[in-house]
Chains A and B, each alone.
Chain A
Amino acid sequence: QKEVEQNSGPLSVPEGAIASLNCTYSDRVSQSFFWYRQYSGKSPELIMSIYSNGDKEDGRFTAQLNKASQYVSLLIRDSQPSDSATYLCAVNGKKGGADGLTFGKGTHLIIQP
């Protein structure tokens, strides 16, 4: 049974600072890693995907993957109030497998103006 662990928060960060969100996963053979943002009452929205060890940057977002430590993180630079949401870490899957994404419970992020 795959597990994805996240600190549920809330994580409170002042506007303009860096928000750091963390995620660990249990299945060593996992190959694909994703970060989703979910606003209250809305569906999850993909913001980053990462498949290889190291950092991947997209605008204000940086995803970091360390497969040896089974750890994925998301950094949000220059945090804005509109970044306040729940951030979901998702992990998939065995190579060639067909088992869909496993999600963590999410971290509730609050950006304080």
Chain B
Amino acid sequence: ETGVTQTPRHLVMGMTNKKSLKCEQHLGHNAMYWYKQSAKKPLELMFVYNFKEQTENNSVPSRFSPECPNSSHLFLHLHTLQPEDSALYLCASSQDPNTEAFFGQGTRLTVV
């Protein structure tokens, strides 16, 4: 496997459910990110991890909880989401936070 892989590709969940998004990178990078992409809005940076340490949390609601067990894996734990959280969630990685980032295929999340 190469690049950045995200699972699942599609997810439908109810507002009371708990689910997790998974991201794995095979590029030997040190930084990983979660982005949210909603219709007609720019990509929004949610979380940054550099060398497994969280360095940015852009005022994301606590119903989104990231986890980075090692520099190759990143999770986004979801609980009690709202319908407005429906979006494309993108994981990315880069060698460091100032160099080019490479994206996974994304998870299309629908909250019902």
Contact = CB atoms under 8 A, between A and B. Distances in A.
Contacts of A32: 98-100
Interface in B27-75: 31, 33, 40-43, 45, 48, 50, 55-56
Interface residues of A, number: 25
Interface stretch (B14-22, B79-87, B103-111): B103-111
Interface in A83-113: 88, 90, 92-93, 95, 97-106
Interface residues of B, number: 24
B90 interface: yes
A105 B41 contact: yes
Chain A: interface secondary structure?
loop
A49 B55 CA distance: 23
Interface string A55-88: 0000000000000000000000000000000001
A46 interface: yes
A43 B101 contact: no
Contacts of A21: none
B100 A98 contact: no
Contact of A98 (B41, B56, B105, B106): B56
A98 B102 CA distance: 16
A100 B55 CA distance: 9
B97 A98 contact: yes
Contacts of A45: 103
18 contacts: A32-B100, A34-B101, A42-B105, A44-B43, A93-B98, A95-B98, A97-B97, A98-B55, A98-B56, A98-B97, A100-B45, A101-B33, A101-B43, A101-B45, A101-B101, A103-B42, A105-B40, A105-B41
